A and B are shown apart, each in its own frame.
Chain A
Amino acid sequence: MRRALRFFRRSISKLSVTVRGLDVKDVIRFILNTNYEDLPKAIIDDAVRALVDTLGVGIAATRTDLSRIIGNHAHTMFGGQAAQIWPDGKTASPAGAALANGMTIDSVDAHDGQKLTKGHVGCGVIPSAIAMMQAENRSDSKEFLTLVAIGYEVGSRAGIALHRSACDYHTSGAWIALAVAAMGSRILGLDENQTREALGIAEYHGPRSQMMRTIDAPTMVKDGSGWGAMAGVSAAYLARDGFTGAPAISLESPELADIWQDIGTRWYIQEQYIKLYPVCRWAQPAAEAVIALQRDNDIAIKDIAAIRVESFHEAKRLTSIPTTTEQAQYSLPFSLGAALVFGTIGVDEVMEAGLNNPAVLRLARLVEMEETDAFNDAFPARRFARAHISLTDGKRVTSEVTEAQGDPEERLGHDVIRQKFLRFTEPVMGKEKARGLLSSIEALRDGGELNDMIARLSFKA
């Protein structure tokens, strides 16, 4: 507490404008004034890639109970006509649609993320951008892609800044709120001062929920993204009407200036990892390790007698033997069981119907976890695991030190992401609609109709 206060006092003593070379106004001008033409082609490509990946997960996630509950809730409590809730096209206010669609995406933990944010910026940014464009009758696809890029840049930095300065580990919702407020300020045409207030309101209202609570006891509140998105949209509308709330400490503190200094030159959207499996990223190095062991050693699952995993502390906290999909997605033992039985982890495996597979559960119960100093030291920039499997005949095999697939250092090709999209969406919306949606997203880069893409998301309307 004392350290926090000392930090706080130092950090807010001088907020006005220039700090160590960073002008807070530069960040605000980046938000308000960046044009599509200013964005490198690679960044636009990555915005499209992020949309394909995130919206594919969102469509798959419309199957969850969580999605159904939050959709009804937003429709009844965040009433409005201006924006739509997926998949059935019910209407809500833009804040309500951002809430419902953001929580829907978050309900299947397969969307992109970034290691230093220890969270997921796109999960909140993308549904919010769609909801606000729709609500404000904006259909410019170039502006939309620009907005997504800005959201990723502001959100990733806000996340890293919050982790460095706050004394607890908060969910993505806490800092996604700033990214969404930034996009909202741009869409609503706020001036620089109003934008600064909007960012401050979003920081204050964003849920600083305790990530490790829901890791230890997984429930539907998950990564806070939908709630943070809603807070960010609301902040922009409040600021437009004159509400005040600056300064956002995570943006304006001199202690954090270095994080913001390179906005517009370093692109965090290029540093996102892509997930191949719908479970917590922390479980994925271990899942890859057992998949490799099984592949290389031709192990029959019935012969497995013991599984031991070395990884980092946070991964070791993912202990559930699940009875809900939320627990399954935050369970390392269950992830390993599914990976060994199916050779991969698909959406079906983590839905309610997949939770009673006896072979998966038998293996999950065998898993023992430990943390090592070396892997703890490497976290969060590198996430490692090593697996040991013992067989009934006494044989014992050990994996390489393994990382998850899809890290930015070894980018997945776009075709892999397209295949993931189709694998996730076709069972839910059918082949034709899935391919249509994919084409409409990819067409945005070439001036495709934004409204067409948005309409396809409400595929049950």
Chain B
Amino acid sequence: MEKAGVKIGLEIHCQLTNLKTKLFCGCPSDYRGKEPNTTVCPVCLGIPGTLPRPNQKAVEDAVMVAVALSSHISEETVFYRKNYYYPDMSKNFQISQYDGGGGVPVATSGMISVEEDGIKIKVRVRRLQLEEDPAKLVHLGAIDTSPYTLVDYNRAGIALLEIVTEPDLTSPREARLLLQKLRSILEHLGVSDGSLEGAMRCDANISLAGGARTEVKNISSFKEVERALNFEVMRQRSLMARGLKAGQETRHWDETRRTTITLRTKEEEQDYRYFPEPDLTPMRIPGEMIESIRWRMPELPDARKDRFVKQYHLPPMSASVLTSEKALADFFEKCAHLYPNARQICNWITTDLLRCLHGQNLEIGESKITPANLVEMLRMIDEGVISGKIGKKILPEMVKTGSSPREVAHRHGLVRISEHEVLEKVVKSVFDEFPSAVKDALTDEKAVHYLVGQVMKRTEGRADPQLANKLIRERLRSKTPQVS
């Protein structure tokens, strides 16, 4: 995608999934897989008379992210009401924070650095703020044809951290990389598990040279952000090519139809009638809290990447790949504790394991493979029990089932043939079949290789090549006519 003139800003909503309770009540924040409307209480259902009680830990988590993004942290943060009617709102207003006059978010002016093809770009963060997640609407099929809408309030009131970037991104791919980076940071901080469905969602603002800003809503994943924005770039380009202008509007990304559709134009923009939430007092963020968070700050992806390069002598690009996901970096380090050749581990993870995960549409955390299993496989290769090629062959099953490499290799008869007698028989049969090659081999080294190749072929690559070589040479030697 050509970059010139494309400006993208993201509004990212991350659920603070590691909190025990919702943002303003004591309901469990682990709502996934629960019966609809069971992790609810009068507060998150907006029953008359109830009042919000802020979750202190959520504020701490938000401050932690703010520190990680080198943001300016407010001394006092204020919650606002964002008023609008929608069936996913139990109170028909959302407790949020406000970026207009008088509003004070948890933090402002931060920075996220993203690496694209080894080049670092810095994206400014405008603000970080807390708000409550609305309920989930469930439709039968598509939203516009469903005969009904069901509301599941289990999600209502889950703590959301909203991170808004400046329009510093210049391509859809950068947008995806930024989301990935942010996810890795949140996971390293231990505040959010990005692998959970819907844990990270985003809206994107996009404009092309001189054109009006379009907001794209309803983007549910990293892949989707790139797709949706690519579509928008194309759409706006083709408008420009026809001499038309993209109007300022809000569009909806339709994942199944892979297109954006107009949600509302500038004239129809909603007036949210923001005003300070009278049921909550401004929340102080004391300096001591920030200090103690700085102290407890875990290692972040960038630092971890640098350490991987230094400690394990990994190429920087590979270290980037490993640290782009916390679970992956953890997996690597666990392997590195069990096996001395870190580079070898890194190669296997960044190429074969990732390809394999991708093929099965899994994340490392969702797959069953363990570091011990991967390391065992590497050892089997080292010991000649299997070849590297066999390793690649058995990896998918290890990922899928969690079985040990030995088990998989044996189950499929893939363990290397290194028994003398067995291989002797194969060699003999090859000699019998290719007498002319045998003859050539007496003088021509190339023909020896041919014979070895035939042995490998017959054993489907399982023969120990060194042993095969040795046996062939021994047999040739016995055939060498006595020099007269």
Partners in one complex: no
B interface, CB within 8 angstroms of A = none
